[in-house]
Chain A
Amino acid sequence: MLGQIIYALPFLAEGFAVTLWVSLLVVVLSLVAGVVLGVGLVYGPAPVRWAVRIFSDTIRGIPILVLIFFVYYGLPAVGIHLQSFWAAVLALTLFKTAQVVEYLRGAVGSIPRGQSEAAMAIGLTFRQRLAYVIFPQAFRRFLPPWINGVTDAVKGSALVSLLGITDLMQAINQVIGRTYEAMPLYILGALVYFAVNYALSLASRRLEQRFAFIRE
């Protein structure tokens, strides 16, 4: 069994790189988009709040697989043709963005109103209030669900194999297609995904401790 795993490793390395690349893109893009939309949801004027609310509720109500197929097979009908890789990244990013919006809303919403008022009273502008008063406090609440979401993104990236992209999952399937030895390779795959996500969880726990300034 060990022999088969060692034989498969070079084939899997490239797929693993694709998995990490997809995950990284999705996590970074969704973080930026989700924070911007989340701020719009919490502080924006009514039309912005409505738009973000509808976006978030709609996306979160659709299975991620449907979203991926919709972007790849559905959008060409309206003239948008994306390569399979970017279609997958877009669909996963949309999905994750809707989640980040909710994490941000929850985290920012947990900060007492008096904090904003105190920040206003010393003359901080909206951006300064967010940067120096609200976000540093909200970060601690944002982090645990967000890291959970990151591990979900790593696991969810396996779905891109359904569009024929050779990520770790697809690479494993290709090796199995040649060797007909499913069990050792799926175990190997599981271990790789686990190792990545466990490392993330550990990092998250350490970060949380660092930001655990006393309160409540």
Chain B
Amino acid sequence: MSDASNAALLDVRDVSKAFGTVEVLRAVSLEVKRGEVVTIIGPSGSGKTTLLRCVNFLESYDSGSIRIDGKEVGYRDAGTRQHRSERDLAAMRAETGMVFQSFNLFPHLTAAGNIMLGLRKVRGKSEAEARQIAEHWLGRVGLAHKADSLPAELSGGQQQRVGIARAVAMEPKILLLDEITSALDPELVGEVLAVVRSLAEDGMTMLMVTHEMAFARDASSRIVFMADGGVSAVGPPAEILAAEASNERLRSFLARFRASHF
């Protein structure tokens, strides 16, 4: 089904969604291949985050289909639009990792405990095995010494690194990153992006929304520019972020972005 290495791991087709009368997604189509890092940029309100949240069905969508590894995400099949059962949906979500802008660590659990919860309850691993995996990933994000710290005892950058470890420890097929550095103090952004970069080097498939243009340029396989709920331009970073981009909306977005950031 999906053994061909060039088949899309994530296949978003004509997805539309409206909140009341406001159309937030208009027939969005997007593919992410295995091992690719795809970055979504665009002005606020363009639907970037909503699209990301549709991929693991934190938001439902009105029409179109989203498939991961050939399997429809939120609905039993695209035609009937009948929601998957709670159990089914949970199992699907476990295949996608998500890292949030506001970290959303569980405050009553330690760093290791945050990572172990899904391993224990969803993956059914033993306490010892889950602990071992948690320690491995905490080591990967440079926080081996913080395994038994509560989130409130960690800096924002450290919390976000635990957030990433929590997501990747589940061995998801794709990692969704939703503006993961937007809530961080500028001096803490680098440590988080370094972790993402090392995951990319390991071949982790990622779809991310970010305002870190320099990072998007260096780390992405492709960049998707969204505007008004639709995909306005897609291409390799050099092409999309070129100052003389042929797309009018993209050019004005980048111009405004440069003006406000430098």
Contacts and interface: CB of A to CB of B under 8 A. Distances in A.
Nearest to B176: A121
B105 interface: yes
Contact of B104 (A117, A137, A213): A117
A114 B122 CA distance: 19
B243 interface: no
B154 to A, nearest CB: 11
Interface stretch (A23-31, A96-104, A122-130, A156-164): A122-130
Contact of B118 (A123, A137, A215): A123
Contact of A215 (B91, B96, B107): B107
B104 A115 contact: yes
Interface residues on A, range: 20 to 34
B68 to A, nearest CB: 13
Contact of B152 (A115, A121, A132, A213): A213
A214 interface: yes
A122 B108 contact: no
Chain B's interface: helix, strand, loop or mixed, by majority?
mixed
Given A132-B121, A213-B152, A123 B106 contact: no
B94 A122 contact: yes
A133 B122 CA distance: 14
A122 B102 contact: no
B56 A121 contact: yes
Given A114-B104, A132-B117, A132-B121, A122 B166 contact: yes
A136 interface: yes
A122 B117 contact: yes
Nearest to A137: B108
Given A123-B93, A123-B170, A115 B58 contact: no
Interface in B142-172: 150-153, 166-167, 170
Nearest to A132: B117
Interface residues of B, number: 31
B162 to A, nearest CB: 11
B97 interface: yes
B100 interface: yes
Contacts of B92: 123
Given A128-B121, A214-B150, A136 B108 contact: yes
B93 A122 contact: yes
A128 B123 CA distance: 13
Nearest to A215: B107
B164 to A, nearest CB: 12
A126 B85 CA distance: 11
B97 A121 contact: yes
A214 B153 contact: yes
A123 B98 contact: no
B104 A125 contact: no
B108 A123 contact: no
B160 to A, nearest CB: 12
Given A118-B105, A121-B93, A214 B152 contact: yes
A127 to B, nearest CB: 9
A123 B171 CA distance: 12
A120 B108 CA distance: 17
Contacts of B150: 213-214
Interface of B: 56, 58, 86-87, 90-98, 100, 102, 104-108, 117-118, 121-122, 150-153, 166-167, 170
17 contacts: A115-B106, A117-B58, A117-B98, A118-B105, A118-B106, A121-B58, A121-B96, A122-B93, A122-B118, A122-B166, A123-B122, A124-B121, A124-B122, A125-B90, A126-B86, A213-B108, A213-B150
